[in-house]
Amino acid sequence: MERIQVTVNGQVRSCDGVGPHTNLLDWLRDEGLTGSKEGCAEGECGACAVMVSRPDGADGSRWTSVNACLPPALAFDGQEIVTAEGLGTAPGACAVKKLHPVQQEMAERGGSQCGYCTPGFICSMAAEYYRPERSTGASTGQASNNANNATNETGDGPASGDHARTGTSVVGEEHAADHESGPNGFDLHALSGNLCRCTGYRPIRDAAYALGAPQGTDPLLRRQDSPAPAARPTRRMADGARFVRPQSMGELFGLLGQNPEAKLVAGATDLGVEVNLRHSRPSLVMAIDRLEPLRVLTVDAERIEIGAALTLSEVERGLDGRVPLLNQLFPQFASRLIRNAASFGGNLSTGSPIGDSAPALLALNASVVLASADGEREVALAEYFIGYRQSVRKPGELLRAVRIPLPLAEQTAFYKIAKRRFDDISSVAVGLALQLDGGTVSSVRIGVGGVAATPIRALRTEEALQGQPWTSEVVAVASAVLATEGTPIDDLRASARYRSAMLEQSLLRFYAQTQPAALEVTR
């Protein structure tokens, strides 16, 4: 048997004896690296966050923050991980104090109280510190205003003038977005998956916004200039179960054919919860996130194809704002920690009615590519879901890619209704895509999540709008129809009544934001 090894904080550690159901966090802690904590075991609190070296471009890498509590430790065979302990050391009997700049800022500014969430915050913050796109020093005026809070007292700040992008109009932009990046380019959403119960966050934000640029000699910065470790084929049988990272699609399909019950994971953000909270113990776990056919991202005249195993963060970077509706989706989809691991493939394969990608992709008229040993077929996403967590995907098939047809509708929006703005699960999610032709609706698609056993298209509402003038009267009628789509239920997130109301309001909101006065409304 080949050795399974993970490099943690520069030291190679053996993963021998570790089973498929042991997550990275438990393994790290068993190794004595107890800095990373378990706060929730479902990727919600970020106390377990660590940094992993992930591919970036052709020959670079980037430090990527992920929850350690979700993925199997074995998925990190051959990979490099950095924990809070690896970033710096506190003074001790035999150690020389050498805090990392992120640690220094957090410690000095009161960013820790009980300290339990702190190592996770440190790793999330450090990954953002090293993010190549983070500009430092010369920032936009907008960002520096926000950090200093000098001009935002009354809220009559500058109206955003950048709604028109790449020829399409973005409506429903997060109007709080201008408060969420620092003068140093620090994106506060980098910390959206980290919870602190003590500080109230202000000192943590101050620490984040005070960070300078990494020094050129910083070894972790320089590490990003060379490729991330390649994925190693991994095979391990332990604790009565198997973990496999197949080397090829052929090997994958072979195993899948013999083991249709196998759990396929990319970021394991869903399986990890099943294992940790519901004690699922699948007999075969297959990691597919590094298989190249699942990592494509191509754009041609007719469509965009997005590999199913690309992380949402990779898709976000790869699309670079090209799909405004998805651009609105990303910051609302779970947290950065989750987006650094989760994929469209996973979100659509679990088929949850409250997955956030489906309503957006339905509005974009997306289809999915289902691949098996026998070849590929393309299925419209609107026909993909057939029941609660059920789809037309057959045993032996996997979702290889998502396709979005071009051109995109000119007006789009994604609305997520939840209790909390950062990192919550939708009560209702609505994706809208509208094409007007001289003031008349020439095409409209509305994808809705959270109101039925599957994500659905609001077909009756679309019908009520199709071919009609885009006026408040027509929208009022159609929004009343939208309120009756699906079969919403009362649950702990929202009442059925509120869900219906939110459907209705979403179309009214969309209409308001497509009006000329919209800029004023949304600031």
Partner 1 sequence: MKSLANRPVNPVVGLPVPHESADLHVTGEALYTDDLIVRSSNVLHAWPVQAPHAHALVESLSTDAALEVPGVVRVLTAADVPGINDAGIKHDEPLFPSEVMFYGHAVCWVLGETLEAARLGAEAVQVGYRPLPSLVTLTEAIDAMSFQGNQPTLTRGEADTALAAAAHRFSGDIEFGGQEHFYLETHASFVHVDEGGQVFVHCSTQHPTETQEIVAHVLGLTSSEVTVQCLRMGGGFGGKEMQPHGFAAIAALGATLTGRPVRLRLNRTQDITLSGKRHPFHARWEAGFDEEGRIQALKATLTSDGGWSLDLSEPVLARALCHIDNSYWIPNVEVHGRIARTNKTSQTAFRGFGGPQGMFVIEDILGRCAPLLGIDAGELRKRNLYVPGQSTPYGQPVRHAERLHAIWQELHDRADVERRREQIEAFNASHPHLRRGLAVTPVKFGISFNLTAFNQAGALVHVYKDGSILINHGGTEMGQGLHTKMRQVAATALGVPLRLVRLAPTRTDKVPNTSATAASSGADLNGGAVKNACDQIRDRLAEVAARKLNIHPDDVRFVDGVVTGIGFSDPGIAFADLARDAYFQRISLWAAGYYRTEGLHWDSARMQGEPFKYFSYGAAVSEVEVDGFTGAYRQLRTDIVHDVGDSLSPLIDVGQIEGGFVQGAGWLTLEELRWDLSDGQHRGRLASQSASTYKLPSFSEMPEEFNVHLFEKATEDGVVYGSKAVGEPPIMLAFSVREALRQAAAAFGPGNREVELASPATPEAVFWAITRARDAQAALDAGAPGVQVGPVPAAFPTVVPAPAH
Residue 57 CB, nearest distance to partner 1 (Å)?
Answer: 29
Helix (H) or strand (E) holding 55: strand 50-56
Closer Cβ to partner 1, 177 or 436, answer by number: 177
**Cβ burial 210-223 (10 Å sphere, 16+ → b, else e):** bbebbeeeeebbeb
Among 11, 152, 280, 472, binds partner 1 (CB under 8 A): 152
Q: Identify residues 260-279 at the interface with partner 1 (CB under 8 A).
A: 273, 276-277, 279
Q: Identify residues 39-98 at the interface with partner 1 (CB under 8 A).
A: 39-42, 44-45, 47, 83-85, 87-92, 97
Tell me if 336 contacts partner 1 by CB under 8 A. Answer: no
| DSSP sequence for 359-384 | HHHHHTT-EEEEEETTEEEEEEGGGT
Tell me if 423 contacts partner 1 by CB under 8 A. Answer: yes
CB 268 within 8 A of CB 76: no
| Binding-site size, partner 1 (CB under 8 A) | 98
Residue 318 CB, nearest distance to partner 1 (Å)?
Answer: 26
> For residues 425 and 470, what is the distance between their CA atoms, to the nearest angstrom?
31
Residue 405 has a CB neighbour count (10 Å cut-off) of 12
Stretch that binds partner 1, among 252-260, 365-373, 410-418, 442-450 (CB under 8 A): 410-418
Among 11, 34, 215, 466, binds partner 1 (CB under 8 A): 34
Q: Is the dihedral of CA 513, 486, 428, 339 positive or negative?
A: negative
CB 184 within 8 A of CB 136: yes
Q: Identify residues 426-445 at the interface with partner 1 (CB under 8 A).
A: 427
Closer Cβ to partner 1, 142 or 442, answer by number: 142
Closer Cβ to partner 1, 133 or 520, answer by number: 520
Among 221, 496, 498, 519, binds partner 1 (CB under 8 A): 498
Beta bridge partners of 434: 411, 444
Structure tokens given for 47: 């106390």
Tell me if 356 contacts partner 1 by CB under 8 A. Answer: no
Closer Cβ to partner 1, 91 or 250, answer by number: 91
Residue 238's φ and ψ, nearest 5 degrees, are -165, 155
> For residues 19 and 4, what is the distance between their CA atoms, to the nearest angstrom?
11
In 140-245, which ranges are E strands? Answer: 164-165, 168-170, 234-238, 241-245
Stretch that binds partner 1, among 153-161, 255-263, 369-377, 469-477 (CB under 8 A): 153-161
Beta bridge partners of 442: none
Q: Identify residues 197-216 at the interface with partner 1 (CB under 8 A).
A: 197-203, 205
Which are the contacts of 373, defined by CB distance < 8 A and separation ≥ 6? 253, 254, 256, 257, 396
Q: Identify residues 222-241 at the interface with partner 1 (CB under 8 A).
A: none
Closer Cβ to partner 1, 45 or 323, answer by number: 45
Closer Cβ to partner 1, 179 or 377, answer by number: 179
Q: Dihedral angle at the C-alpha atoms of 54, 55, 56, 61, nearest 10 degrees?
A: 60
Q: Dihedral angle at the C-alpha atoms of 376, 382, 387, 393, nearest 10 degrees?
A: 0
Residue 336 CB, nearest distance to partner 1 (Å)?
Answer: 11
The single-letter DSSP state of residue 253 is H
Residue 465 CB, nearest distance to partner 1 (Å)?
Answer: 18
Among 328, 426, 505, 514, binds partner 1 (CB under 8 A): 505
Tell me if 181 contacts partner 1 by CB under 8 A. Answer: no
Residue 331 CB, nearest distance to partner 1 (Å)?
Answer: 10
Output the CA–CA distances (angstroms, integers) from residue 263 to 63, 70, 346, 398, 476, in the order listed: 27, 14, 11, 11, 45
Structure tokens given for 383: 């026909």
Helix (H) or strand (E) holding 51: strand 50-56
**What mask, x for binding partner 1 by CB under 8 A, covers residues 103 to 142?**
xx-xxxxxxxxxxxxxx--x--------------------
Among 388, 419, 472, 476, binds partner 1 (CB under 8 A): 419
Residue 487 CB, nearest distance to partner 1 (Å)?
Answer: 18
Stretch that binds partner 1, among 146-154, 163-171, 284-292, 339-347 (CB under 8 A): 146-154
Among 7, 60, 99, 410, binds partner 1 (CB under 8 A): 99
Q: Identify residues 442-461 at the interface with partner 1 (CB under 8 A).
A: none
Q: Identify residues 387-406 at the interface with partner 1 (CB under 8 A).
A: none
Q: Which of 17, 10, 3 is nearest to 33 (CA)?
A: 10
Tell me if 29 contacts partner 1 by CB under 8 A. Answer: yes
The DSSP bridge pattern shows strands 50-56 and 80-82 to be antiparallel
Tell me if 417 contacts partner 1 by CB under 8 A. Answer: yes
Tell me if 476 contacts partner 1 by CB under 8 A. Answer: no
Closer Cβ to partner 1, 116 or 136, answer by number: 116
Task: Quote helix, strand, coil % in the chain, to nearest 5.
Answer: 30, 25, 45
> For residues 148 and 141, what is the distance between their CA atoms, to the nearest angstrom?
11
